[in-house]
Structure 1
Amino acid sequence: MAFSPDYRTYTGATRAAETAAVLDAGLRAYMLRVYNWMASGLVLTGIVAFAIANTSLLEVFYPLTMTPSGRMVHAPGVLAWISIFAPLAFILVLNFGVNRLSATAVQGLYWAFCLAMGASLTNIFLIYTGASVARVFFITAGTFAAMSIFGYATRRDLTKLGSFLIMGLFGIVLASLVNIFLGSAGLQFVISIIGVLVFTGLTAYDTQRIKSDFVEFAYAYGPDEAAKRSVFDALGLYLNFINLFQMLLMLLGNRNSD
């Protein structure tokens, strides 16, 4: 008796392979969109911070003020304080309104957030040398890329690690608030060390979370929802990058007074 191939099994296997290939291609396209949004936001933030620090706009945000010792220094003005707290307002709106806002509105808020963040980061050019800012930026970029690739490629479930890292993030926030009043250099050093570890880990965790969410909900995402989610996911990675950059700058940056 001749044996013929089981076309039903072959067809089922082929369809499963095709479905997996389509999902993989969709995932790669989605992740590329997320990284493009994140990178574009970082570029805009950097341009705004550098432009304000190196033009007459600096006097608007950080006007010269005389200290009790008679030195003239750039002190935060009203616009500087607004720019420092404005990003928090944008994050809250995006977090609570992402499901009700249109894709265009979410994208507009993201650009506004990046602009405000750039203005709030102007002071790093007043505190640190330009060379050290550039050096730490590239160190941050390399660290971020390595951890994001790890988060994307690893088969290890980082969910439990993510819960621990989020607890660490709250601890950093509380310790930073306390140190505003204490002004302790030692505590700031400890915060920076822990911050580097937390935001390095969160980069891997968030990358895996974005990947897992897409694989789980890919077929539920319409074009508008996917557009909004890509911006929202980019925001999470953007914040990890910015915070990691600031923590490393506190540890490795050379101050202008050094």
Structure 2
Amino acid sequence: MEDLRLTHERQEVRSFIQQVYLWMTLALLTTAGVAFAVSVSPSLVEALFANRSLFFVLAIAEVLIVVFLSRAINKMSAQTATVIFFVYSVVNGFTFSWIFLAYDLGSIASVFLVTAGTFGVMCAYGYVTKRDLTSVGNICFMALIGLIIASVVNIFIINDTFSLVISFIGVIVFVAITAYDTQKIKRMALNLSYTDDLEAKSKGSILGALTLYLDFINLFIYLLRLFGKKR
């Protein structure tokens, strides 16, 4: 009986994790597709980058969507949460279109593969490790606040060396956060494996996908700043 329970639990956890990665992958493909489409459209590029106010409105909208989805997901349906998640990935596509304008396409592809490999390794570690990564997550959260402050300061001083240091630290932080978030999502999966509430599981998978999507995007951006070849 105990073996049957454990087998069921593992199947439920595996199914949940697969759903998380499916949503994350679809969102990443959506962002990449929109970003590339915008970058090859002169009219969209001009509308987005000639008018800085529009770009900043979209950037602020990204933050508000993440905050809203994270805090209000339990009050909405799984379908609504899914739509909001993909709206966010589309908005990200517009704001990240600068990547295809600033960096060589081959360089983008190379860094993407490095990011995917690094991300995959850290996800695997976070999933299988028996070590509690909560303290690592707390340290990374404090480091993330420092990164945000440093990035804002660098907007005004525009120092290339400082930017490289920020990017290097950013890679380390998001490598660690990826492992922590994976462990956190696994725990969420274990908790949800005891319920038959499909709605709760669906919303949990969207929230997990959003978390890992953000980790992947940030890790990619920092690695691109370090190793990307500019046009």
TM-score between both structures, scaled by the size of structure 2? 0.96
Matches within 5 A, 1:29-68: 29-56=15-42, 57-63=44-50
Structure 1 residues 221 and 100: CA distance shift in structure 2, 3 A: farther
Bigger radius of gyration: 1
After superposing the two structures, state which structure 1 stretch, 20-29 or 157-166, moved more: 157-166
Query: SS of 1:219's equivalent?
Result: coil
* 2:169 counterpart residue number: 194
Separation in structure 1 between the aligned mates of residue 186 and residue 98 of structure 2, nearest angstrom: 35
Matches within 5 A, 1:94-109: 94-109=69-84
Separation in structure 2 between the aligned mates of residue 121 and residue 52 of structure 1, nearest angstrom: 9
Matches within 5 A, 1:80-229: 80-220=55-195, 222-229=197-204
2:45 counterpart letter in structure 1: L
Confirm whether residue 250 of structure 1 aligns to residue 225 of structure 2. Answer: yes
Highest RCO, 1 vs 2 (Cα 8 Å, sep ≥ 6): 2
Cα deviation digits, residues 188-244 of structure 1 (max 9, x gap): 111101100000011111001110122134324611111011001100000000000
Q: Number of aligned pairs?
A: 230
CA shift for structure 1 position 55: 1.7
Separation in structure 2 between the aligned mates of residue 185 and residue 96 of structure 1, nearest angstrom: 36
2:36 counterpart letter in structure 1: F
2:96 counterpart letter in structure 1: L
Separation in structure 1 between the aligned mates of residue 160 and residue 174 of structure 2, nearest angstrom: 21
**Structure 1 stretches of 5 or more lacking a match?**
1-14, 64-75
Confirm whether residue 19 of structure 1 aligns to residue 1 of structure 2. Answer: no
Cα deviation digits, residues 67-126 of structure 1 (max 9, x gap): xxxxxxxxx544323222221111011022111111111001001000000101011112
Higher percent of residues as helix? 2
2:17 and 2:189 in contact (8 A); partners too: no
CA shift for structure 1 position 168: 0.9
Query: SS of 1:99's equivalent?
Result: helix
After superposing the two structures, state which structure 1 stretch, 31-40 or 86-95, moved more: 86-95
Cα deviation digits, residues 34-66 of structure 1 (max 9, x gap): 000000000000000000001232222224xxx
**Structure 2 stretches of 5 or more lacking a match?**
none
* 1:10 counterpart residue number: none
The Cα RMSD (Å) is 1.2
2:175 and 2:219 in contact (8 A); partners too: yes
Query: SS of 1:200's equivalent?
Result: helix
1:60 counterpart letter in structure 2: A
Cα deviation digits, residues 158-196 of structure 1 (max 9, x gap): 111111111111111111111111111121111101100
* 1:73 counterpart residue number: none
Separation in structure 2 between the aligned mates of residue 59 and residue 168 of structure 1, nearest angstrom: 36
Separation in structure 1 between the aligned mates of residue 180 and residue 103 of structure 2, nearest angstrom: 30
Separation in structure 2 between the aligned mates of residue 18 and residue 147 of structure 1, nearest angstrom: 30
Identity %: 37
Separation in structure 1 between the aligned mates of residue 149 and residue 200 of structure 2, nearest angstrom: 34
Separation in structure 2 between the aligned mates of residue 122 and residue 191 of structure 1, nearest angstrom: 22
After superposing the two structures, state which structure 1 stretch, 161-170 or 18-27, moved more: 161-170
